[in-house]
Amino acid sequence: MIASINPATGETLRTFEPLTESQIEDKLARADRAYHEYRRTSLADRVRWLHAAAEILESEKRALGRIMTLEMGKPIVAARAEASKCALACRYYAEHGARLLADEPVDRAGRSFIRYQPIGAVLAVMPWNFPFWQVFRFAAPALMAGNVGLLKHASNVPQCALAIEYVTRRAGFPADVFQALLIESKQVGRVLDDSRVKAVTLTGSEAAGVQVASHAGRQIKKSVLELGGSDPFIVMPSADLERAVHTAAEARCINNGQSCIAAKRFIVDRQIADEFERGFVTAMEAMKVGDPMDESTQIGPLATPAILEGLDEQVRRSVQLGARVLTGGKRLDRPGNYYAPTVLVDAPANSPAYREELFGPVAVLFRADGIEEAIRLANDTEFGLGAAAWTNEAAEQQRFIDEIEAGMVFINGMVASDPRLPFGGVKRSGYGRELSAYGIREFQNIKTVRVG
């Protein structure tokens, strides 16, 4: 059973039966037929459909945002902003897709060139935390490039999956070019093993990435993985401390703390650590936790009871091993999956707070004796998704850019995704890139052509 459950109340909103084997077969056959027609559609048509999708996302963001908030607890203001961001991605690829897919001449005579061509049906295994944005940052470039999409969304956001499919159909995309598959995780391998599915992209946990990449590898299929992150947020003495503190709280609590690129480890130079700590704790305590439908709420519930239980266990084990709680550190005594905004210090190297990703509003604060130790602490993790470094010294900025092991480094700002910039990580945060020119070309046949 696939269930849509309101994380703020525990109420079951809707349930769905997973697709049967015959229903999966029907959807795969339809996707394959759709691809062979869709790949021949004009770029002008795809541009028109993407613009139409953007208009729907923007004009109906209140209704679409409500679905997101009801299913996974995102604050309603952030949910509406997410719909708008999806519109931005659609418009970006509508406006720039033709240029990004154009033939690339290699010689002046134009007799040697590179051509980008679609490959077919791409399976997207997507997470619940940004239930529209994660999908559209795959779907917009994939559809512009002539591929077709099969969406296996997280099982707790089925209504989001169906709403996205409905948006693409209303925008004018041909039938079956984008389909939601309401299937369970155990059915993903069967879909990926099918020869009509040509590639897979996954955003999710490290464990899910290992399973999907293993299936894809056995079938010799392209995969793109965006997995976990334990992003460092480094603050040096030359930084604008007031701005850094304010941004730090926002960066930790964005999306109720449930973001792969949320800042999680706060590494502060010892010279300013006391002042930063005081301001940061105050800022975290000031965050308004409450009903995600309330316009003023900054932190809503965690998405599921299991996520709440897992986060609480990570904090409790870390404290048992020596970490100290400066604020929070507990579930909130109210209906729903609520956890108090939390700041931990003195986390030992063998504790979950040091080694694992904390998916919720829990920050871990470290003190560093200078830039060398700050970089060492930043890199002392299996993950390498994003990183933020706050300094106004040019030499320090260059060192952070060069030496932090991450797919994205932001100087004096919060890590965020942008359709113009490639998004992805290194180490156990995955491989491949979404967005920008790199994202639209991930699932293309990059064909070399030479005319003699």
Of 71, 82, 165, 226, the active-site residue reads: 226
Distance between CA atoms of residues 216 and 210, nearest Å: 10
Count the alpha carbons within 13 Å of 73 in the hemisphere toward its beta carbon: 33
Count the alpha carbons within 13 Å of 28 in the hemisphere toward its beta carbon: 19
Let me know: does 231 contact 406? Beta carbons within 8 Å.
Answer: yes
Let me know: does 436 contact 408? Beta carbons within 8 Å.
Answer: no
Q: Hey, how many other C-beta atoms are within 10 angstroms of the C-beta on 331?
A: 17
The first and second tokens of residue 57, run together, are 């996302």
Of 86, 260, 356, 357, the active-site residue reads: 260
- Sign, CA torsion 342/348/353/357: positive
Single-letter amino acid, residue 115: R
Q: Is 160 part of the annotated catalytic residue set?
A: no
3-state secondary structure 186-215: HHHHHHHHCCCEEEEEEECCHHHHHHHHHH
Q: Max alpha carbon distance in the chain (Å)?
A: 74
Distance between CA atoms of residues 375 and 276, nearest Å: 18
Q: Is 260 part of the annotated catalytic residue set?
A: yes
Q: Hey, how many other C-beta atoms are within 10 angstroms of the C-beta on 107?
A: 9
> Catalytic residue numbers?
226, 260
